[in-house]
Amino acid sequence: MREALFVKQNSEKWKHYEQMRTENSDELAERFIDITNDLAYANTFYPKSKTTAYLNGLASVLHQSIYKNKKEEGNRFVTFWKTELPVLFYTYRKQLRYSLLFFLLSASIGVLSAKYDDSFVRLILGDGYVNMTNENIAKGDPFGVYKRQGEVEMFLMIAANNTYVSLLMFVSGIFLSIGPVFFMLRNGVMIGAFEYYFFSKGLGAESVLTIWIHGTLEISAIIIAGAAGLVLGHGLLFPKTYTRFQAFKNSAKDGTKIALGLIPIILVAAFFEGFITRHTEMPLFLSISILAGSLLFVIWYVILYPLKLHKRYQTIENV
C-alpha cells in the first residue's frame, strides 16, 4: 500500500486517539495495541518516513498514559466522577444538545396540544390523576399527591422506576438512535401537558416552586439518559474509520458510563421527591435555593466543568 493511502485511511483514527483523553485502562490498552500494529506496518514499509516517526511518538504517549493509569487505579472511583464522566459529557456534547432540543420541542408540543384540546391532559395524564388533583385543588392542597405515601417507600419506588426508565432510554439507542428520540418525545409531551394543566389552574408559579424541587434533577437525568442512548446509536450510524462493530463497541462503553453515571443524580432527585417535595409549606427562599442549586449543579457539572477540563488538556498539549 502506498504511504499516502495508508495515511488517508488511518489519519482520522490517529487524530481521534491523539485528541480524546480517557482514564479507562482497557480503552488505553486497545488504542496502544492498535497504534503499535500501525507502527509495525509503517516500520516495515516506510521505515524512515515522517508517518513512522509520528506513530512512534503517539505510541510513546499512549504507553505513558497506561503506566500513569496503573498508578491511579486505587483512585478509580474518584477519577471517574472527577474526570472521566465530565470528559465524556464534553466529547458527546452534540448528543446532549440534540437530546435537550428533542425534549424542549416535545414539551412545546405538549403545551400547545393541552392548550387547544381540552381532552388532551386527561389523555396523557389519565382520568384518575386529573380527578385526584382536581379534588386536591378543591381542598386547598394541589400537590397532595406527594404526601400519599411514606417517605422511604416513595423514595425507593421513584428511585427504582427512574433508574429503570433511564437505562431503558439508553439501551433503546441500539435501534439506530430512534428509541431515545421516541422516549424524549413521550416524556416531553407529558411534562408539557402536566405543566400547562397547573398553569391553566392559576398554579403555575406554585407548581414550579414545588414540583421542580425534584424535577430539575429528574428531568436533567432523563435528558442525559436520552443523550446516552444517542451515543449508543452513534457508533452504528457513523463508524467513521472503525469497523461498524468496533465503533459500536466504543460507543456502547461510553454510553454505558454516562448512563451509570446518572444513578447518583437519580437517587438525589428521588430523595427530594420522597422527603422534601411533600413539604409544600416550606419557606419560599428554601424552595428557590434547592431548585436553583440543582440547576446550577447540572449546568456546572455537565457543561462548564467539562469545558474547563477540555481547555486544561489543550493547554497541556500545547506546552
Percent of all residues in the chain with a pLDDT value above 90, rounded to a whole number: 60
For residue 19, what pLDDT band results from cuts at 50, 70 and 90? low
Q: Delimit the domains of the chain by residue range.
A: 3-71, 82-318
CB of 236 within 8 A of CB of 248?
Answer: yes
Flag whether pLDDT at 318 surpasses 70: no
- Least trusted range by pLDDT, from 36-40, 139-143, 294-298: 36-40
**CA–CA gap between residue 306 and residue 146 (Å, rounded):** 35
Encode pLDDT of 291-300 as tens digits.
Answer: 999 999 999 9
Report the mean per-residue pLDDT for the chain: 87
Flag whether pLDDT at 41 surpasses 80: no
**CA–CA gap between residue 252 and residue 12 (Å, rounded):** 20
For residue 317, what pLDDT band results from cuts at 50, 70 and 90? very low
**CA–CA gap between residue 219 and residue 315 (Å, rounded):** 34
Kindly report the pTM of this predicted structure.
Answer: 0.76
The pLDDT score that the predictor gives to residue 68 is 59
Flag whether pLDDT at 209 surpasses 50: yes
**CA–CA gap between residue 166 and residue 83 (Å, rounded):** 22
Flag whether pLDDT at 234 surpasses 60: yes
The pLDDT score that the predictor gives to residue 1 is 66
Flag whether pLDDT at 230 surpasses 50: yes
Encode pLDDT of 85-137 as tens digits.
Answer: 999 999 999 999 999 999 999 999 999 999 999 899 999 999 999 999 999 99
